Chain A
């Protein structure tokens, strides 16, 4: 009996700790970015003020999402930096810098999105596609493994996903003729346990969706962290664009599993199901946006759901147990698709392919939605996300494949006199209907955070960090941080006090009530 109580107490402690800290890239396994913390709420958010600033001194896009575990904050900065800091004061505890060897060419940017943690070990990816394990107590390197070679166009920017004693990582390089993959490593030894190729080879299921040997350089990067359902023991990953991005003639076919979400068994890396949002994509519409997991009653039946606001301007709802397509609905301007068949295959309109003379089309190459994290608030039942409202002219030309070199198949550019803007939208995820929206002057790259204080935090391209009433969409608080915001805020509680943290420029800004 006593033992059982202890067990229960431990369980409760772990649960409370999880709600107080921010223990994964998404803050939770399901990618909902929702916290039951309400010290800061709709009534007092107007009093929110700066608690401290941590200056990383690192130039480059600051896209980290910090972790807060057991009273310590861990974050990364561009190029291979990691820091441990005091989340109450912002004072540094240790600093680690990964040195990219001289002569290495970085394909896909030096930005880094953050860490994963298992016990006393932290895990990060590096611009040259390594996974590094650090001792959380000191920042000392425990192991360093190459995922794949930069010489073949691989890089990494994503935050790893920790499941049980495994570290799951993905790669960048969709514009460099890679063959995409998801790897799982043993947290203690760094030994690779399994690899899932995002592009099947000839003879495997899906291998016939690629013309000739185009699968060998077909892209399908995995540059955003997946989500995980411990109950079903499935991990969900959005797969990036096929390559060459804008020229599809040499890779005729649906090009599985690019532009898809895949459900994998995290113990074996085996594919359970997949759903392809954009078959044979030629607009660089990566499907790497967060697969958000939540449960709700849909059409009279309680279901395990997966929602994604895709870069192709459609919002999707799937059954995450089976991969069944439930519905999709456009959330922004789009003119590439005429609807869906009952299996969820889009009816692509004719003459929407990129062309030598340029094809104007919405959404633009960068979306739509992109890496900006959405949120799901079970109190309001709403799905919150930011996206780019812009169109592009898409050009194509046959590219030449050179290992490790750009493999775009031409370019896109903005439509003349079409400015584009940014949007924050609250959707009913069971219908795809918008409940409220807020327009930003410039298209931006900041994601969202939802709290039980009835708040929705986000930012814009002009550096405003903002809090909205999650129910009405009313703007309640804002501060100009002075630099474009390009990641998502977090919240945590420490010694009874709630904090909200947002990276801006080279600074980590943390706010609290006075």
Chain B
């Protein structure tokens, strides 16, 4: 009995310490990562972290590298200024998200059929996979590595559910009434630059047009909400299978400091 007590006390102290590290890891996750990965890690603009799948590795060293260096070709930024101790706690929490339990997401459709659905709907008129397709819409080369199944499904059926700022649409009404619609490439107080569906840049001085309409949360992509369920699941499966190296290696922006 006495021996057991002696044994238990250090264990309890250890367990409490471990819990608080996990809590602190959760706090770091909520304030830094949840914006893209969701409050519970189920995914969003960033991949689902609960499923335990990762294209970039799951060891402590892998996770530390991904967090501090970012993922080139994706929208995962680098968190280079994170303190070592906080990083260790964050890694602990991210690993705990998947809980070591196999909750792998399994697409229910047929990816080969999905590829045909993709072709039939001329998705490549706006999207690009590898070297094929258009740069008008988001590149899909590695979209399966960066999004959950639920996100992909919703992005097809209701694309306006989530429009990242870099894909917001703008409509410019010229003085003669001509409407030019496109993805906003850049904008400032006095000018706006778009990419139109033919992949051409269109640039305007705001004082020389009748109106500039910001589509905001309304996606430029049509909603495929009437797509038969089986076809949709095939397409989702195809997109989920896309895990190639992105061609658009975006510059990784460190966060701006605030005094």
Please judge, given known A-B contacts A223-B259, A397-B24, A406-B83, whether A464 and B30 are in contact too, CB under 8 Å. no
Residues on A with beta carbons closer than 8 Å to the beta carbon of B187: 441
A357 to B28, CA, bound (A): 11
Whether B189 lies near A358 (C-beta < 8 A) is no
From the candidates A109, A157, A462, name the one contacting B189 in the complex (CB within 8 A).
A462
From the candidates B31, B217, B259, name the one contacting A395 in the complex (CB within 8 A).
B31
Residues on B with beta carbons closer than 8 Å to the beta carbon of A260: none
From the candidates A175, A396, A417, A478, name the one contacting B190 in the complex (CB within 8 A).
A478
A417 to B214, CA, bound (A): 12
Q: With an 8 A cutoff between CB atoms, is B101 at the interface?
A: no
Please judge, given known A-B contacts A284-B258, A410-B31, whether A417 and B217 are in contact too, CB under 8 Å. yes
Whether B188 lies near A397 (C-beta < 8 A) is no
Residues on B with beta carbons closer than 8 Å to the beta carbon of A419: 165
From the candidates A397, A406, A463, name the one contacting B27 in the complex (CB within 8 A).
A397
From the candidates A175, A411, A441, A442, name the one contacting B31 in the complex (CB within 8 A).
A411
Please judge, given known A-B contacts A405-B83, A413-B35, whether A462 and B188 are in contact too, CB under 8 Å. yes
B138 to chain A, nearest CB (A): 17
From the candidates A356, A365, A441, A464, name the one contacting B258 in the complex (CB within 8 A).
A365
From the candidates A109, A357, A396, name the one contacting B257 in the complex (CB within 8 A).
A109
> Which residues of A in the span 163-191 have a Cβ within 8 Å of any Cβ on B?
172, 174-175
> Which residues of B in the span 1-44 have a Cβ within 8 Å of any Cβ on A?
23-24, 26-28, 30-32, 34-35, 39
B90 to chain A, nearest CB (A): 12
Contact residue range for chain B? 20 to 34
A361 to chain B, nearest CB (A): 14
Whether A460 lies near B188 (C-beta < 8 A) is yes
Residues on B with beta carbons closer than 8 Å to the beta carbon of A157: 259
B163, B188, B259: most-surrounded residue (chain A CB, <10 A): B259
Closest A residue to B258 by CB, please name it: A366
From the candidates B24, B32, B85, B189, name the one contacting A460 in the complex (CB within 8 A).
B189
A317 to B258, CA, bound (A): 27
Please judge, given known A-B contacts A356-B30, A410-B27, A460-B188, whether A172 and B35 are in contact too, CB under 8 Å. no
Q: With an 8 A cutoff between CB atoms, is A353 at the interface?
A: no
A410 to B31, CA, bound (A): 7
Whether A441 lies near B30 (C-beta < 8 A) is no
Q: With an 8 A cutoff between CB atoms, is A495 at the interface?
A: no
A77 to B188, CA, bound (A): 27
A372 to chain B, nearest CB (A): 13
Residues on A with beta carbons closer than 8 Å to the beta carbon of B217: 417
A497 to B129, CA, bound (A): 60
Q: With an 8 A cutoff between CB atoms, is A37 at the interface?
A: no
B163-193 near A? 1/0 per residue, CB < 8 Å: 1010000000000000000000001111000
A383-400 near B? 1/0 per residue, CB < 8 Å: 000000000000111001
Whether B259 lies near A464 (C-beta < 8 A) is no
A106-120 near B? 1/0 per residue, CB < 8 Å: 001100000000000
> Which residues of B in the span 54-85 have a Cβ within 8 Å of any Cβ on A?
83, 85
A507 to B245, CA, bound (A): 39
Whether A172 lies near B39 (C-beta < 8 A) is no
Whether A357 lies near B30 (C-beta < 8 A) is yes
A365 to B188, CA, bound (A): 23
Q: With an 8 A cutoff between CB atoms, is B244 at the interface?
A: no
Q: With an 8 A cutoff between CB atoms, is A440 at the interface?
A: yes
A436-459 near B? 1/0 per residue, CB < 8 Å: 000111100000000000000000
A284, A366, A441: most-surrounded residue (chain B CB, <10 A): A441
Chain A positions near chain B (C-beta within 8 angstroms): 108-109, 157, 172, 174-175, 223, 284, 286, 356-358, 365-366, 371, 395-397, 400, 405-406, 410-413, 416-417, 419, 439-442, 460, 462-464, 478
Known A108-B259, A175-B259, A478-B190; further 8 A-B contacts with Cβ < 8 A? A174-B259, A284-B258, A356-B30, A358-B31, A397-B23, A441-B188, A442-B188, A463-B188
